[in-house]
Amino acid sequence: MNINKQKFFLPILLPVLVLLVFGCSKSTEGKDGKLSGTVILNNDTGNPALDPVDYSGVTVALYKPAELDTTFVRLNNTYPNLGVQVSQETEFDHRLQNPVKVTHTAGDGSFSLSNIKPGTYNLVVMKEGWGVRYLYDVDIQDGENDLNSKICSQLKANNIELYPALSLSGVIAEAFSFKAGHSYIIKNNLTFSGDVTIYPTTNIWFNPNAGITCVASLNIETANPGFFLVTSADSMYISNKILPSQIRRWNGISCYQGIQIGNNSIQKAVTTFSTNGWTLQTAGIQINEMVFKYCGSGLQFSNINDVTVSRCNISYSDSTGLWGISFIQCNQTEINNSVFINNAIAISQDTSTEANVSNCYFFHNSVRDILNSYETTGLVEHCDFIASNTCIETAGSSNTNIQYCNIQGIIGILNTAYVRWRPSWFNANYNNLNCSQYAVKARGRFYEIEIHNCEQNYWFTTNTDEIDELIWDMHDEDPNEPAYEEYIGVVDYLPYRTSRVVNAGCQH
């Protein structure tokens, strides 16, 4: 082609090329999605005064999924037998993040959300007097999305139903059921003197400082899948983000000594923003697959025997005067296969015998992982203690055996005496001790020499001088201290291991 022909075709080719380039890029761009559906207000109470005039004014908010704690996710993958498998159902709270889209229903209950980036979301519908309902893992694709079971597995029909949120307080003497998919508001302290049944997917919202007391029986229905939620009603109808510290706490759920617990089991509850969590006094009870988050205390037991807590998640129990789990004057107790993250004190066991903790994972608890005090006896075995202040403290006439654990913290094992006449003892064998200050600090007061058996541990060094630096016992006390002659406990670490205890820590 000669130069003149090139000049002729160039002005024609350039616009065509531009159209092709921009046309192709535009056609390959991801399209936004649109979600349409209907919310129906269903008065199933039998009270005509609660019949809706229309279905308008329901807030419909779309949220990104809650970010799952990476430590829980890693543990779920590595040790599927530990704790609850975290999911949107166990972790999502609409108050803790801002929505992506918000709208309100029309008189016929219809709604539409536009310009949604394709992906997975949580959908929240709420209306004062009708409660709050969560729909998890809603799949939004390009173009039109009608609300149906294909994009939300929890829906059986194409519509979302809300039911009247019953307000409860005072005394209820007759049998009562918390129904699946319903919301209940505990306005003030409530006592059930009749039988109580709680179904999965129930949401129980408590006004600040309100609580429930059960004096007859409590049955947790487990025939259908899902968790039930017990949480603070503070800010329940807002759609914008607030901080966990801004949510005012409710009191707790108390079950009197001797009440009947259906199948001797309480399970599948998500408990958040409570001061006292669950206080239980029924012997032979089993607690399984429970989630506690942002509570002063999660579980409290007193004056009962034969209790098992298994596969629970306890996190952000932040009160130094309360505990994630506490036993007071209990015998034959077991905490196993549970996870404790970012609490102040994870476990407290007081005046309890045969108090055993096994196959549990502790991470970044700020004060203590386990506190055994006042004549508590028991065993701690096959646990992981990671990045904590003090991993295990035994105090006040307690006697604790510690074996096959991975112990990593500032202080690994702390032995103290609360008062002069209450010395404490411990044995620690076949553990991996990797601590930044003291692997063992023994300061229990004694009137005769007490030997703490710490044989067959791996100290992450084979240098005896370095091991001595990791131990505080009578040889490290100040002779000028008035009570010096009472600090005569000795840590015997010989023989020690020269390599890791391979079967220490949590087991599959």
The pLDDT value given to residue 25: 44
Residue 386's DSSP bridge partners are 363
Per the CB < 8 A criterion, the answer to whether 278 and 301 are in contact is no
Residue 245 contacts by C-beta under 8 Å, 6 or more apart in sequence? none
Coil/strand/helix, residue 283 = coil
Sheet of 217-220, strands arranged across: 176-178, 196-198, 217-220, 260-261
Beta strand spans in 352-434 (E): 353-358, 361-363, 368-373, 377-381, 384-395, 399-403, 406-416, 425-429, 432-433
Cα–Cα distance measured from residue 134 to residue 160, given in angstroms and rounded to the nearest whole number: 10
Q: Where are the domains of the chain?
A: 33-64+100-162
The pLDDT value given to residue 358: 98
DSSP string, 19-35: HHHHHHHHHHSPPPEEE
- By CB atoms closer than 10 A (0-12, 13-18, 19+), residue 417 is buried
Per the CB < 8 A criterion, the answer to whether 387 and 363 are in contact is yes
| Residue 101 CB neighbours (<10 A) | 17
Per the CB < 8 A criterion, the answer to whether 395 and 426 are in contact is no
Instruction: Specify the pTM.
Output: 0.91
Residue 107 contacts by C-beta under 8 Å, 6 or more apart in sequence? 54, 55, 56
Per the CB < 8 A criterion, the answer to whether 494 and 396 are in contact is no
The pLDDT value given to residue 252: 97
Task: Show the low-confidence residues of the chain (pLDDT under 50).
Answer: 1-10, 12-28
- By CB atoms closer than 10 A (0-12, 13-18, 19+), residue 65 is middle
Strand pairing class (384-395; 361-363): parallel
User: Which tens digit of pLDDT belongs to each residue from 177-222?
Assistant: 999 999 999 999 999 999 999 999 999 999 999 999 999 999 999 9
CA contacts within 13 A on the Cβ side of 313: 26
Residue 433's DSSP bridge partners are 407
- By CB atoms closer than 10 A (0-12, 13-18, 19+), residue 29 is exposed
Cα–Cα distance measured from residue 5 to residue 27, given in angstroms and rounded to the nearest whole number: 33
Nearest residue to 162 (alpha-carbon basis) of 138, 133, 140: 133
Cα–Cα distance measured from residue 143 to residue 31, given in angstroms and rounded to the nearest whole number: 7
Peptide bond into 495 cis (omega under 30): yes
Cα–Cα distance measured from residue 368 to residue 357, given in angstroms and rounded to the nearest whole number: 14
Residue 57 contacts by C-beta under 8 Å, 6 or more apart in sequence? 104, 105, 127
Provide the CATH topology of domain 33-64+100-162.
Answer: Immunoglobulin-like (2.60.40)
Cα–Cα distance measured from residue 287 to residue 302, given in angstroms and rounded to the nearest whole number: 15
Terminal alpha carbon distance of the chain:
76
Per the CB < 8 A criterion, the answer to whether 370 and 345 are in contact is no
Cα–Cα distance measured from residue 271 to residue 252, given in angstroms and rounded to the nearest whole number: 9
Nearest residue to 251 (alpha-carbon basis) of 279, 228, 229: 279
The pLDDT value given to residue 450: 78
Phi-psi category of residue 296: left, alpha or beta, with phi > 0 → left and psi -120 to 50 → alpha: alpha
